[in-house]
Amino acid sequence: MATSPRPFAFVLMPFAAGYDDVYHLAIGEACKEAGAYAERVDHQIFTGNILERVFNQIAKADLVIADMSERSPNVFYEVGYAHALGKTTLLLTRDAADIPFDLQQFPHIVYGTSLTKLKSELVRSVRWHLENPSGTATAAPEVLVRANDFELSDAPAVPATRRGAENSIRLNLTFKNASVRAIRRLSFQVGLAVPRVIAGANDESNQPFKGIVDGEQRVFMHAVPIDLMPKQLHELRFRLLPDGASVGRPFPDELPCSVRLYMESGALDYPFTMLLQPSIAPSAQA
């Protein structure tokens, strides 16, 4: 029987050996008992910049657990990033005196030297937040996608016209980061899934997009990742080419398509139906 993946708790804390038992015996065991799994970055295998990895894991996490003991500048900085993303963040500290003024408005689990107390209180807190996701501020990526100026929400019909002797189809895609958070940068790669009667796709400079057959569809991938800051726009222009057997022959009037965004958190699909309009002869093209 299929089971859902366990929620992920990303742990921010000093990496000093004195905190190993806090991580393994209290935080890790509490998350396991509450139905989640916990990891901190130095226990993960990865390549690249560690700060980028921390940012990536904060964005991916279902909740963040941060031990604020000893006022670690690194932990404070990472907690600030988690708060800016609206992540549910559970704060811990050995000593209430370590809670700075700006964070006193947030509840802390003050555990002193008792790992038993920390585990017990953390189990309750983690379990409550997992059972009440509406109480968290974690937001889904906010990307607005348009095809030929039609917003791709609720699977719309999008008109498109076949052009020239080759009956190519022009499709312009625009992407907008609609996040209201000042530092919510969105990064993704774009795929365009179309029926297999579409055999090729070029960009506006006539460079081909790589096509991958996936069942009854062909997915054309834009190789370069797109990074958007809030309110920023990006445009991609596709020229879709029918297979050789379709040129000059009756062609479907409706093509089920989908724009697919590949993000760190998973893939997002924006389905639509492409409605093909009468062909424009070469002499009539602009």
Write down all domains in the chain, each with its CATH number in brackets: 8-135 (3.40.50.450), 143-284 (2.60.40.10)
For 158-186, what is each residue's pLDDT tens digit?
A: 999 887 666 789 999 999 988 655 556 78
Q: What is the 3-state secondary structure (H, E, C) of the chain?
A: CCCCCCCEEEEECCCCHHHHHHHHHHHHHHHHHHCCEEEEHHHCCCCCCHHHHHHHHHHHCCEEEEECHHHCHHHHHHHHHHHHCCCCEEEEECCHHHCCHHHCCCCEEECCCCHHHHHHHHHHHHHHHHHCHHHCCCCCCCEEEEECCEECCCCCEEEEEEECCCCEEEEEEEEEECCCCCCCCEEEEEEEEEECCEEEEECCCCCECEEEEECCEEEEEEEEEEEECCCCEEEEEEEEEECHHHCCCCCCCEEEEEEEEEECCEEEEEEEEEEEEEEECHHHCC
Question: Does the pTM exceed 0.85?
Answer: no
Mean of the per-residue pLDDT values for the chain? 82
User: Is 30 a residue whose pLDDT tops 90?
Assistant: yes
For 194-220, what is each residue's pLDDT tens digit?
A: 998 898 999 877 888 888 888 888 999
Q: Which amino acid is located at 227 in the chain? A: D
Six token digits for residue 229: 């800051």
Distance CA(160)–CA(169), nearest Å, equals 7
Distance CA(275)–CA(184), nearest Å, equals 35
Stretch 60-78: mean pLDDT, rounded?
A: 91
Higher-confidence residue: 230 or 136?
Answer: 230
pLDDT for the residue numbered 138: 34
* Confidence label for 48 from pLDDT (cuts 50, 70 and 90): low
pLDDT for the residue numbered 32: 94
For 17-39, letters b (16+ CB in 10 Å) and e give eebeebbeebbbbbbeebebebb
pLDDT for the residue numbered 150: 93
Reported for 101-107, long-range contacts at CB under 8 A and 24+ positions apart, including other chains, are 103/68, 103/79
